[in-house]
Structure 1
């Protein structure tokens, strides 16, 4: 008996570490406590006598004041558990078979401190889930076993009964059970049918919870990382109601629409994808604002409140000379010109006439392409005019009178035009602005029959080349 007490205490210490309730996860349970044996049940012939004496423990029950039973059971599914019990007792109250005729009572005798041992198996059905309770656990059971009354009286029994357990916490409960053990022995004084009552503690165990979060591994979506029940055992580090394994930003509270990532500026772009996370902006600009709507983000826009092209840093192109042609397109950005001439000033007809009035006075040595000395001031005056229009291009034409052979006149006109061109280049005019050509005697402007007419035909003309 002393050894049984020690075993029960050890079991209590070990199982007290568990906090789960027996079910499909916690399949095992152990119960231990005291039992009482009542032999009155086979002595009473009437139901009312059975019921009236059921709780007459002082007179009819045999109770050993020690831990006197142990039960080990396993959950088998759908509310059923199968268990095996071992119990001991000492029979000091044996209810005799014959009642007093007038008193309606039964005689109780002491059979001489009779030893009682029993091993029973039972299939129990719990009604706790059926009634929707978490702590009140009524049950019914059936089974069978073998009982020894001392060393000479023994036999098998068919058992059935009811029980109830009050669960203090998920795995610890106070259990009560009454079992009727039916004996098929005709002589009850040899081996009687009887009632056995049990009261004790029940501990449930066996469920595996690797991360210790109170959710069994089989039901835990994250069995190796502790998490709350509301997320099936998965953690939510940032507390945004999105579990870490589905959270793209597990350490920053965010929104479900952004997979758990925040959007501080509320512009519809998650901070992790937002180039300007603290300023509301446009998706097309990766979350950055564009105040002037020119397609250049404010942080990159040199003129954030005025529209301008990206190639000019978000600022409008300037028109320094105010001629209506932007500097980027203006070939003369600091000189007012015309749109038709790409922002450069155009020569007027009067200026062209003045230029040609000078050109007509250019004098060459007779039959040659060299200048007479008195012509150099004229050439310098022509160069000065060309410099006033640095982006204008000119054609220098040479012409002769009809004296001499045509071929000679053609060559002479070309050489004279080229001589003027070269002089201009040597005096600061860009060569790309000048072309030259000779037309010989083919384009007279006067008669070649008079000396005066011939003099007019021997000429240089400067013409403006229009783009």
Structure 2
């Protein structure tokens, strides 16, 4: 049966996949021998590609002209499709087993005459193989720690579906880039040569492998004469009495139990010194060169106010922690500390939390000014001569920054009650708005109108009506 006529072969079953990996592991076991270098074992996994052009080509140059033509010639299974297990066997040589699976959807046919090579689908043939690989690394020859070119030879067995299988003789080149001592990115190109009596059904072909390689199984990495399996510190050269762990400072305490492995110290302090002699080891002493108190991690408190010197803004004078170790100030000298003084820049009374209290004389001054506020007739707008009066009221209110006030508006009895009520409210609100706009907090002020309901004089005379048309300022307690 020609190899390019596999159009209806049965898909690879799970039992064949199992056989592949069992065979791979058995062969890997046969190659086992005693460890003789660091990380002698390696496992590689990734993707593989199968290219049959090498068998179809009639001339040597045709075999390599499209060596990396993956789009047209390569068969790639978009998943992890190969695993290689290998072991270093001495010198630059290692031996390994590769198991791979694929699906052939592209076969390159021999060309007719000078015509092009034709690529056909042979019927989604399942491909799987087990190959033994003897690898020779040239990394040491390059004296490189990252670039690892290699040559390999070997042989194996390949199955196409459940119908055709045959042995091959293999050879090829590889390249690994090592990210570190144990992890690398690998590529390998292998020519698989099939024998003439089966070549019609099992063509010779190229198989490409790309994946990640992980090395493992070291011996004595730190070179201290203690094998890694017995070495409690395999990455650091150490002493036999400490099971391979070091004692860098030579104080008789191994580093893993020494809180200060680079500086000698007594066992009392877990290997750390106590430079200032305050009974606190340097590694936990926040002030290792100045004797201090345990409560402050070894730092001093010169004035004894409970605030350590490095946080004390007044380390020679006692003061509360809330004020950085300094005594509370009283800027205005009213005997109310600034922390409790609601008016720290204006002298006041203790009873009023450090703020000045509004006197009866101040209320009288406010209302003397308020009586002279003049509005346009029947409106809430101010006459021009009233603005100095409003400024004077504002200045008095600023002398008492925590006091609250009510602005009250009143009218005479002329006109309708409802009209007078609204006019009184609007006029009181106009005074309040002026004060707010000139720096008095709105939260300190309220306004209300009482219309003609609270006269202070008769509404039968012109003078009495003038007295009843007024604004009053009252202290809100």
| Fold shared by both chains (TM-score > 0.5) | no
Tell me which interval the TM-score lies in, with the shorter structure as reference length.
0.3 to 0.5
Structure with higher Rg: it is 1
